[in-house]
Structure 1
């Protein structure tokens, strides 16, 4: 999962990013509303952690802009202000949750996971697609009820495919989702091909069907039917 932390407190932003990276997320920082707007216009994020009080503007205005432009990423508002009006306004503008500072990073993590389950996984930590089952809490994969050993990147890749089944995913979007936006300047994406190849091989080894098809010149598609 790729996250953007919009926070002007350098110490808090760094601690939050470091914690989330240790938990396996791709995490980037924007310390102003302008920097956040630029990143959001260029890249897709699964979730944006948005501070209300920013040096160059109000985070609620940024949230309003995000929703007006029909950005689909989830938004978790954070603020030292514990005003009920701010909470109500933020939720009415399309925020998915509101967390008052100071907060424990473990609570932030729990809120992130809850939002993602609610919005993308129908509220469950278990993701089932035909014979393939993923547990987002334990990072375990089973195929035909047999365990399949995967790396963290392979788990995230398979989950990304299933959540976006029947959609064509470019190699660039897969790379950015799993490795961050620095990949946009790479000359090629052979490493994406290798990870997809390894994932298909592992699924096949436990008698799973091959749902991943190559879209020539673009990327890959995870189909409801076998390729």
Structure 2
């Protein structure tokens, strides 16, 4: 899961980054409106943590732009402006939650999980496809009720594809989601192949009822077998 942190306070931004990385999120950052806008329109994120008061603009305006462009992304507003007006504006513009500063990191983590669970899993704790169950809160995977051991990258790839079951996923957005935005500067995406090969091998050996198909020249698609 990849999260964009839009926050101009260097210390708070770093604290949030470190806490999210401990929770195994891929954390990207923007310290101003201009950078946040560029990243939000160039890359894909599972969630944006958005401060309202930025040195060169207002976070609510970014929400307006995303909404106008049809860019659907989970947004949690983080702001010291704890007013009813700001909350209402943010929610009307498409924000999924509002957390006033100061806040506890444990609450932030809980709200992120809640937003992602509602959007991707209809509120369910686990994801079930065929005989495969993924437990995002514990990073576990079961096949037919038996635990399946995966490396971190294998798990991250699988979770990304499972949340987009049946959709054609190109290599670049997959790589950015698992390795971070800077991976778009790589000469090629050969590093994905080894991870994908191992993941497929583990799923097949475990008798999983899902398969990751290669769509040559484009990317991958996860389907039931």
* 1:184 aligned residue: 184
* 2:161 aligned residue: 161
Is 1:125 aligned with 2:121? no
Structure 2: how far apart are the matches of 1:80 and 1:221?
42
The Cα RMSD (Å) is 1.0
1:21-170 matches, within 5 Å, as 21-170=21-170
* 2:171 aligned residue: 171
Structure 2: how far apart are the matches of 1:38 and 1:170?
21
Structure 2: how far apart are the matches of 1:208 and 1:82?
48
Structure 2: how far apart are the matches of 1:69 and 1:137?
32
- Where in structure 2 are there 5+ consecutive unaligned residues? none
Contact 2:129 / 2:210 at 8 angstroms: preserved in 1? Answer: no
Runs of 4+ in 1 over 4 A off after TM superposition: none
- Where in structure 1 are there 5+ consecutive unaligned residues? none
Structure 1: how far apart are the matches of 2:34 and 2:213?
39
* 1:6 aligned residue: 6
Give 1:190 shift: 1.5
TM, length-normalised to structure 1: 0.96
Give 1:210 shift: 4.7
Higher RCO (CA 8 Å, separation ≥ 6 residues): 2
TM, length-normalised to structure 2: 0.97
Map Cα deviations across residues 96-137 of structure 1 (whole Å, 9 max, x no partner): 000000001111111000000011111112100011001111
Give 1:209 shift: 3.4
